[in-house]
Amino acid sequence: MRSELQAIQADFDQAIDQIQTLVDLDALEVRFLGRKQGVVTELLKQLKTLPKDEVGPVGALANEVKTHIADGLAARRRTLDNNEIAIDVTLPGLARPVGHLHLMTTAIRQISDVFARIGFERVRYPEVEWDYYAFEALNMPADHVARDEWETFFIDRQPIDKKLGQRVLTPHTSSGQIRKMEEGILPIKMINISKCYRRQIDVSHVPMFHQFEGLCIDRGVNITHLKGTIDYFVQNFFGPERTTRLRPYHFQFTEPSFEIDINCGICLGKGCRMCKEGWLELGGAGMVHPNVLKAGGIDASVYSGFAFGWGVERTYLMKSGVNIDDLRALYKNDLGFLQQF
Ligand code: FA5
């Protein structure tokens, strides 16, 4: 036991020289003198197993070692205390890395804010959606060719419900139109902003993107209300000098249907090198088809409405002037890219 005590002391002398912080010093104290499993404490417990005449001298040696260790710890603590107090508290602190909102979160907030000012209520509906809400109730029967344009992700191979069909990842926010109508509260003024999914990936398409969909249904709603709402949005979102034009188009769930163009921010519609013709495409819109109103339980002879649905990514990139030539960059989680904004 004598030699063990000497080894412990040698061990301690070596360890104490390496200690540079108070935290490490505390750990060393626990290791040697800790009341539960400190090496000295453990050894002292064995004293009683020694022959009687050995207990006295070995006990004395053990106490010496213990005192030596305690003194060593105390001396080191004094040096470290002094060093730590010597820290200059007037030096500037270390800056913590601070994150910021993703570009698309900012875009969604700005879009909701503009529409909130003219009474559009922000809503969200399921992203795992029934075929019925995504297509069928939007006037696109099962084999309709128009469905092909949506390049859908299917959850079920076959329909699993007679009315609702199979589940899909919603390919557009228009699925929220019928869900909103089914709530049975009129008039409707909603802005549905949500993730959408399509089997597409290239420089201008990502498989997960966002759309914002406006729907307004009341008595006497006509195309001038659509135009007024859209102009209010573009003037507040892009700038007071911006305006829109409606270009005839086709969607199965609106009649008539339009593509909405916005005048170019550089030439304001005259035509320039950037835009060629003076106008840039924003997205689709139209007057809600009577069949859609009917599917939503609304009397089309009394009520009418307009709807529009645009991509958040493309709309925001047009505003910010951020020159991103590949939409996929938004979702690569590349901090070097995201931190620029
Ligand atoms: C629609 O999805 C219609 N539901 C829009 C609509 C709503 C029309 C209400 C009439 C009334 P479209 O498939 O064109 O339409 O998509 C609308 C916008 O979503 C596009 O202009 C584009 O900005 C965006 N978008 C579509 N697919 C992708 C994609 N894969 N990646 C990024 N943005 C996309």
- The secondary element (H helix, E strand) that includes residue 104 is helix 103-117
Please state the length of the chain: 341
Torsions phi, psi for 124 (to 5 deg): -145, 145
d(CA 167, CA 154): 6
> Could you tell which of 139, 140, 172 is best to mutate to test the pocket of ligand 1, judged by most ligand atoms within 8 Å of the CB?
172
d(CA 124, CA 144): 27
Any atom of ligand 1 within 6 Å of the Cβ of 130: no
Q: Are strands 254-263 and 244-251 parallel, antiparallel or unpaired?
A: antiparallel
Nearest atom in ligand 1 to the alpha carbon of residue 201 is 30
d(CA 184, CA 294): 12
Task: Work out the end-to-end distance of the chain between its first and last CA atoms, rounded to an integer number of angstroms.
Answer: 69
d(CA 152, CA 200): 9
Q: State the distance from the centre of ligand 1 to the C-alpha of 260, rounded, in angstroms.
A: 12
pLDDT the model gives residue 176 = 98
Confidence bin at 294 (pLDDT 50/70/90): very high
Query: What number is the average pLDDT over the span 300-308?
Result: 98
Nearest atom in ligand 1 to the alpha carbon of residue 206 is 31
Mean residue pLDDT of the chain comes to 92
Tokens of 86: 């010597």
Query: What number is the average pLDDT over the span 15-39?
Result: 90
pLDDT the model gives residue 164 = 97
- Indicate left, alpha or beta for 156 from its phi (over 0: left) and psi (-120 to 50: alpha): beta
Confidence bin at 107 (pLDDT 50/70/90): very high
d(CA 178, CA 299): 13
pLDDT the model gives residue 239 = 93
Indicate if the pLDDT at residue 139 is higher than 90.
Answer: yes
Which residue is it, tokens 């050995």?
54
Confidence bin at 160 (pLDDT 50/70/90): very high
How crowded is the C-beta side of 288, counted as CA atoms within 13 Å?
34
The answer to whether 121 and 190 have CB atoms below 8 angstroms apart is yes
Q: State the distance from the centre of ligand 1 to the C-alpha of 210, rounded, in angstroms.
A: 9
pLDDT the model gives residue 218 = 98
Point out the least confidently predicted range of 71-80, 118-127, 218-227, 265-274: 265-274
The answer to whether 7 and 62 have CB atoms below 8 angstroms apart is no
DSSP state of 215: E
**CA-CA-CA-CA torsion sign (151, 152, 156, 159):** negative
CA distances from 102 to 67, 197, 289, 332 (A): 60, 19, 36, 12
d(CA 241, CA 235): 7
pLDDT the model gives residue 307 = 98
- Looking at ligand 1, which residue's alpha carbon is closest to its atom 28? 205
Query: What number is the average pLDDT over the span 115-128?
Result: 97
Query: What number is the average pLDDT over the span 140-160?
Result: 90
Query: What number is the average pLDDT over the span 89-97?
Result: 85
Confidence bin at 122 (pLDDT 50/70/90): very high
pLDDT the model gives residue 36 = 84
Confidence bin at 91 (pLDDT 50/70/90): confident
Which SS3 state, helix, strand or coil, does residue 139 take?
Answer: coil
pTM for this prediction: 0.75
Percent of the chain residues past pLDDT 90, beyond the cut: 66
